[in-house]
Chain A
Amino acid sequence: MLPIALSELIQIFRNRSVLITSFVMPVVVSAFFIYQHEVFATLGSLGYIAAVVLFTVCAFGLYASSVTTLASRRQNLFLKRLRSTAASDAGILTGLVLPVTVIALVQVAVIMTVFGVVPGMPGTIGLLVVAVLATVAMMLGLGLATAGFTNSPEHAQVTTLPVSLGVIAVASWVGIAGTEELTWLKRLLPGGSATELVVDAWNGGVSAGRSLLLLAPTLGWVVIAVVLASRFFRWEPRR
């Protein structure tokens, strides 16, 4: 797993377009939200900004990058070559997505820390960490599933749009409008309960027990994504 992860890290830093669109842009967008936090806080809350920042990084830095990476490696038969070795399927997939996952986690940690310094620290840091990890797991799972029907890196620009834009839209909807109305619809949509968890964690004032119940829909999406990935994921291009 680690040799594969290292080779992926090398390739990330050699591919300028991947670096800019998947890693630099989310940070720039997040920086804009933080810079304008007073404006966005009047729309929702500081917790809403934290949620949107999280999903921006996870959607474009993690989800879209993992789909593009897996589709590219499949298209040039690199996946097939890796499977010709003694490495297990789980080891191969983990190695391929580990760098983008670690980079996303570092980005989120840095951005959240900066955000915490600017307007104020989150109410419950432990709960925030749980929310971030659950969101990352969900987006990774959705990335594996999406890669199953993505034929090429170019095709990934299209196939990743629904989930990328969808989770950010849901995060905005939940972050701005709250969950007093259409509660279960908002919580069951991908990103909905994770957003509520982040908002609760940042804004504070909500019991940890209640908040942890919101983990269930997010983890449910992880399970759904893994089932879809095992159904659709291909190791070789269609002949």
Chain B
Amino acid sequence: MSSTPVIDVERLNLSYGDFHAVKDLSFQVERGELYALLGTNGAGKTSTLEIIEGHRSATSGAVRVFGQSPRDRRAVRPRMGIMLQESGFSPDLTVKESVRLIGKLTQRADTVERVLGVVDLTRKAGTKVSQLSGGEKRRLDFATAVYGKPELVFLDEPTTGLDIQSRDDLWAAVDNLREDGSTIVLTTHYLEEAQQRADRIGLMHRGTFHREGTVSELTRTLPAVIRFGLPPSAPALPLHGKREHDGKFLIETFSLQKDLFTLLGWAHDNAVELGQLESGPTRLDDVFRAIGTE
């Protein structure tokens, strides 16, 4: 397997006048991985993606896609599929005509029938784009992005507006692409999708990365929590905790299993009922909230 990253971003900067949308950003996306680019609103994700996709130029820094400048459309685009955040189809064309047009322009071999089957739009082939629902347009978006099974696929908010079945179908199609060796760059506001599917995640805030790594590496930076209610007559806790505004106790721990075992053992020994006990490992949401306050 080649060690050359598919995407190589080095000290990327993008400024609009005095406003720095992207500051000194560096990261790589390896071949075959699913990389999620997440961030707070206005963090610079869209600007970063547009530079990598070749839609705009950076103020400074270097971006290479397949070892080439992403602005070299002829060299890079045949290997790349892009699912835009907003649908951009001509309303008077039919579904089939739209896929056929974009498919021809990708310079990749495939059939309209196959990609329409992937997104379950076969029976809508003759329908004008203006008559499609929002979810159907997103599926059409995805179809044009995966036409010809590109080596690199950008998915910008791919499941927005999709029902659960359509989401499952989309992710099944993404899994098939990955089995064929495609590299995926994902942006999404559905953190559970990133948590379940991403090999690595880059968390942007105010134009730069605040965290980058696997889900495990990211969530390891924050403690897990155990939350419960205690009767007023309960003896002293065996672990350090704090009372929250709603009266419940909160224990933060980097050893969830050990401390949960200790707490449950203490409750059993002292005949204490832990009301509304809840616990769980750190989630990506927690990491996300933490960077939003930094």
Contact = CB atoms under 8 A, between A and B. Distances in A.
B102 A81 contact: yes
Q: Which of A4, A78, A84 has the most chain B CB atoms inside 10 A of its CB?
A: A84
A7 B82 contact: no
A81 B154 CA distance: 13
Contact of B101 (A3, A77, A79): A3
A14 interface: yes
Q: Which of B73, B74, B88, B144 has the most chain A CB atoms inside 10 A of its CB?
A: B88
Contacts of A10: 92-93, 97
B148 to A, nearest CB: 11
B87 interface: yes
A4 B89 contact: no
Contact of A14 (B53, B55, B92, B101): B92
Interface string A68-100: 000001001111111111111000000000000
Contact of A82 (B87, B97, B105): B105
A76 to B, nearest CB: 6
Contacts of B97: 7, 10
A85 B84 contact: no
B89 A86 contact: no
Contacts of A84: 53, 55, 77, 82, 84
A87 B90 contact: no
B74 A86 contact: yes
Given A4-B101, A7-B101, A77-B88, A86 B73 contact: yes
Interface string B47-86: 0000001010000000000000000011001100010101
Nearest to A91: B105
Contacts of B86: 77
A237 to B, nearest CB: 10
Contacts of A85: 77, 102, 105-106
Interface in B18-32: none
A4 B92 CA distance: 14
A199 B162 CA distance: 62
A86 B97 CA distance: 18
A10 B92 CA distance: 8
Nearest to A14: B92
Would you call the interface of chain A mostly helix, strand, loop, or mixed?
helix
Interface residues of A, number: 21
B92 A83 contact: no
B78 A86 contact: yes
Contacts of B105: 3-4, 82, 85-87
A11 interface: yes
Contact of B93 (A7, A79, A82, A86): A7
A15 interface: yes
B107 interface: yes
A81 B106 contact: no
B114 interface: no
B134 interface: no
B11 interface: no
Interface in B92-122: 92-93, 97, 100-102, 104-107
A82 B100 CA distance: 13
Given A3-B101, A3-B105, A81 B53 contact: no
Nearest to A92: B105
B226 to A, nearest CB: 45
A85 B105 CA distance: 6
Nearest to B78: A86
Contacts of A83: 55
A83 B106 CA distance: 10
A126 to B, nearest CB: 38
B265 interface: no
Shortest 4 CB-CB distances between A and B: which pairs?
A77-B88, A85-B105, A81-B88, A86-B77
25 contacts: A3-B100, A3-B101, A4-B105, A7-B97, A7-B101, A11-B90, A15-B92, A76-B90, A76-B91, A77-B84, A77-B86, A78-B90, A80-B55, A80-B84, A80-B88, A81-B84, A82-B105, A83-B55, A84-B77, A85-B102, A85-B106, A86-B74, A86-B78, A87-B73, A87-B105
Interface of B: 53, 55, 73-74, 77-78, 82, 84, 86-93, 97, 100-102, 104-107, 144
Given A10-B97, A11-B92, A84-B84, 13 more contacts: A11-B90, A76-B90, A77-B87, A78-B88, A78-B89, A79-B88, A81-B102, A81-B144, A82-B105, A83-B55, A86-B78, A86-B106, A87-B73
